[in-house]
Amino acid sequence: MKNQAGKILQDIELLNIKRDTAFFFSVIEALRKTEYSSIIIINIIPYLSMYIVESMKWVNKNISKEAKKIELYHENIINSSRNRIKIFDDKKDDIEQKIKFIEFIIRNQNDVFNFKHRGLLGFLQKILQCDMGLTLYENRLISSTFTSIFNLGYSETHLNISPKRFNKSIGESSRSLGIEIGQYVGSILRALEINSIDFSRLESANNRNFFYYDVKAKGFLSKIFPDIDNDSLSLYMLYILTELNFMKVLDDILGLYDQITMFKMKYITIYHIISSIKKLRDYSFKHKIIDRSFSQKLSNMIRQDDIQLITGQKRFRNAIVHYEIRNVSEDYLDRDLPLFGFVEYYFSGITYDELSVKVDNVLLELSKSLIDFMNWSPSEFRIQCYQE
């Protein structure tokens, strides 16, 4: 009976991997035919990386016992990208280390955009030169230059390149990383004989709905969140907003599909964003970066009942991140239920559909609250930039 129970659990684990593999493979394939593929891919890279890290553990343990273990050339970067989902919720780095990293990125990007400016007009050009890009889908801010660098998992060592060589070097590294990720997902799809999903809607999404703005980071970050007196923390808050908005945009572009993987991504996003906002609030108030009034606003924003429900289930978060099922009897699981009954098991009295609605509502409410804190008009900052 024990062996039979283990077989049931392993079958569910494998189904979970197959579902996520089909989702990511199908999204990548559909995006190959679009003009905006890099925007979407860069935003989902941390989730792709999480899928790769966790599925590779499972495959190496359960399938590759007699065969050669799967190894990746970019494994360190993929591991780092996977942890970027946590933002401030990563135990490996405290918030001060995260701030120092962002300060480095701000300086680094300023150097990259300004190294050409020399001579009599060089000083003026450096003052006006844009050094940060923003991407909007319709009216939602979904990405920035920082999103790309942060999500790709690069460390300060990777980014510490001469400004003249930066774009070429990072571009080559990113292409190599992207190829390896695509090859891994494709190899798992073929090895496990998984059917892809029709995401043709991705191909028909109108490229004209994407808008791009260039801004001067120093001026932009000092104004974007007027209640935060620190450019690095303003940039983190902006990143949190773009992550929330992107999840909603991707949901809209994919259409009304019963996509369990999409639900998992949204849930994990909310889980770590709430924890990160708490840490940002406490650190900022302690160091007088925000005042008591704004600290209270942040507290009120994350106090709603549905947020407490979502963030109160760490065991459920772990269950949807890791493919190995731990401490759950097969008697409580049903392969015919969405997420195999994990929601019903961990959230007594709540169904998957009910939790999914709550997750979508929280995404929207958090985004609206952060937008209310902002002071931003695209045209206001666009005209401050020097264009070559």
- Residue-wise pLDDT for 181-225, tens only, equals 989 998 888 888 887 776 666 656 666 788 888 888 888 888 899
The pLDDT assigned to 2 comes to 46
- Given the DSSP bridges, would you call strands 140-144 and 210-215 parallel, antiparallel or unpaired? unpaired
More confident position, 64 or 123: 64
Confidence of residue 117 (pLDDT cuts 50, 70, 90): very low
The pLDDT assigned to 296 comes to 96
The pLDDT assigned to 383 comes to 46
Please, are residues 374 and 225 in contact by the beta-carbon 8 Å criterion?
yes
Confidence of residue 146 (pLDDT cuts 50, 70, 90): confident
| pLDDT of 125 over the 50 cut | no
The pLDDT assigned to 386 comes to 43
More confident position, 163 or 331: 331
User: 9-23, 146-160, 247-261, 279-293 — which is least confidently predicted?
Assistant: 247-261
The pLDDT assigned to 149 comes to 86
More confident position, 53 or 61: 53
More confident position, 301 or 139: 301
Highest average pLDDT, of 184-193, 220-229, 281-290, 324-333, comes from 281-290
More confident position, 267 or 3: 267
Highest average pLDDT, of 64-68, 84-88, 330-334, 351-355, comes from 351-355
Q: What Cα–Cα distance (Å) separates residue 170 from each residue in 44, 87, 155, 174?
A: 18, 22, 12, 6
Highest average pLDDT, of 110-124, 190-204, 224-238, 366-380, comes from 224-238
User: 18-22, 65-69, 153-157, 210-214 — which is least confidently predicted?
Assistant: 65-69
The pLDDT assigned to 118 comes to 47
The pLDDT assigned to 68 comes to 56
The pLDDT assigned to 202 comes to 61
More confident position, 162 or 312: 312
- Give percent of the chain above pLDDT 90: 41
Amino acid at 182: G
| pLDDT of 263 over the 80 cut | yes
At residue 110's C-alpha, the angle toward residues 173 and 238, to 5°, is 85
The pLDDT assigned to 167 comes to 80
More confident position, 318 or 256: 318
Q: Please give the mean pLDDT across all residues of the chain.
A: 84
| pLDDT of 114 over the 50 cut | yes
